[in-house]
């Protein structure tokens, strides 16, 4: 007896759906030499201007060491630059370069296509419901660190 219908679980569907989304987006971006995650860096910089690495990692909800390597590759490819913060020598400020501007335009094009494919046949209401429910699951999992829970 299995005890757990894991292949029908939310975790299973979250995993396979997100992987498929990333693959579709990355495939679409291949001609521009950029990845889904790099496009998100450019998105945040486009939205908010220069950000520190700590701020950017927070907005992308990834750990700082993960962002370091993403930024390393983007700096190598000339899409971003790092500059020291004039007021706090611990910090580095990340800015998009002129070279990244046409790339961002392509990213937006790809994003619109992938989004349209992903949501084909879903009403605006269903899309809003999906985002709301994902947000709820996300919020639930931010609470109650596992150590506290299992130490009961």
Partner DNA sequence: GACAATTCGTTAGCCTGCTAACTATTAGCG
Partner DNA sequence: CGCTAATAGTTAGCAGGCTAACGAATTGTC
User: Contact 125/119 with Cβ under 8 angstroms?
Assistant: no
Q: Which of residues 34-73 bind DNA (CB under 7 A)?
A: 35-38, 52-55, 57, 60-66, 68-71, 73
* Site pattern 111..130 for a copy of itself (x: CB under 8 A): xxxxx-xxxxxx---xx-xx
What angle do the packed helices 36-48 and 10-29 form, to 10 degrees? 80
Which region, judged by CB under 8 A, interacts with a copy of itself, from 49-57, 77-85, 92-100, 110-118?
110-118
Q: Which two tokens stand for residue 118?
A: 């992903």
DSSP state of 94: E
Q: What distance in Å separates the CA atoms of residue 74 and residue 53, rounded to the nearest whole number?
A: 13
Q: Which does 141 bind (CB under 5 to 8 A by kind): DNA, a copy of itself, none?
A: a copy of itself
- Residue whose entry in the numeric block shows the structure tokens 């679409």: 28
Query: How many Å from the N-terminal Cα to the C-terminal Cα in the chain?
Result: 28
Q: Which does 90 bind (CB under 5 to 8 A by kind): DNA, a copy of itself, none?
A: DNA
Q: Which residues of this protein are in contact with DNA, per CB under 7 A?
A: 15, 19, 23, 27, 35-38, 52-55, 57, 60-66, 68-71, 73, 82, 85, 88-93
């Amino acid at each position: 007896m299995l005890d757990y219908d894991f292949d029908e679980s939310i975790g299973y569907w979250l995993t396979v759906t997100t992987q498929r989304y990333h693959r579709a987006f990355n495939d679409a971006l291949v001609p521009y030499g950029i990845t889904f995650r790099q496009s998100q860096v450019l998105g945040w910089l486009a939205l908010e201007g220069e950000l520190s690495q700590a701020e950017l990692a927070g907005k992308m909800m990834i750990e700082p060491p993960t962002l370091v390597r993403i930024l390393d590759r983007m700096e190598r490819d000339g899409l971003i630059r790092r500059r020291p913060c004039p007021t706090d020598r611990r910090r580095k400020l990340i800015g998009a370069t002129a070279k990244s501007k046409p790339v961002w335009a392509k990213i937006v094009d790809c994003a619109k296509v992938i989004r349209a494919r992903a949501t084909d046949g879903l009403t605006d209401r269903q899309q809003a419901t999906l985002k709301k429910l994902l947000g709820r699951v996300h919020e639930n999992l931010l609470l109650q660190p596992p150590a506290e829970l299992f130490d009961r």
